[in-house]
Structure 1
Amino acid sequence: MAPRRISNQHDSSPGILDVIRSVLASAFGVQSQKNYKRDFTQVSAVRYVVVGVVFVILFVIGLMLLVSAIIPG
């Protein structure tokens, strides 16, 4: 009987950088199918929700600053 190969990739939860990359990729519509499946097989979506909310807040603030810089007050 051949030794079984153990993969820790699916057993461990993604790190915060993986979550940030995943949220950014999803926001811009370039998320790979492999990462999409990995994200939705996680037990808890709290990290993704928190990072997504922070991203949206920063994105809106960035757009507001850009518009206020372009349009004279």
Structure 2
Amino acid sequence: MSEEQKEPAPADKELGLKEMAQSVAAAAFGVQSGKNRERDFSKGKPSHFIFLGLAFTLVFILVIFGVVKLVLHLAGV
């Protein structure tokens, strides 16, 4: 196998969707570790994190809105 055909080492790989989503969720709740933060800044693309952060915020707002609507409905208001 030539050098060009080898898969990149795990340390050289870009972050996957799962790792980025976990980082966004951890950062949103304020529990992001320093090791993961450094990994995100060195291997992640800012545009991906911005998009996932906005998507997470939208989903969070919709969930809160749904819970409030459900509680008000069950309370008979």
Same fold (TM over 0.5): yes
Question: Per the shorter chain, which TM-score range?
Answer: 0.7 to 0.9
SS at match of 2:14: coil
Partner of 2:5: none
**Which runs of structure 2 are paired with 1:1-73 in the superposition (5 Å)?**
8-42=9-43, 44-72=45-73, 73=77
The alignment's C-alpha RMSD in Å is 1.7
Q: Which amino acid aligns with 1:8?
A: A
TM-aligned CA deviation for residue 14 of structure 1: 0.6
TM-aligned CA deviation for residue 29 of structure 1: 1.1
Q: Which amino acid aligns with 1:35?
A: N
Q: Which amino acid aligns with 2:67?
A: L
Extract structure 1 runs of 4+ deviating beyond 2 A: 7-10
Structure 2 residue ranges without an equivalent (≥5): 1-7
Q: TM-score, normalised by structure 1?
A: 0.80
Q: Percent identity?
A: 30
Q: Which amino acid aligns with 1:68?
A: K
Q: Which amino acid aligns with 1:55?
A: F
Structure 1 residue ranges without an equivalent (≥5): 1-6
TM-aligned CA deviation for residue 42 of structure 1: 3.2
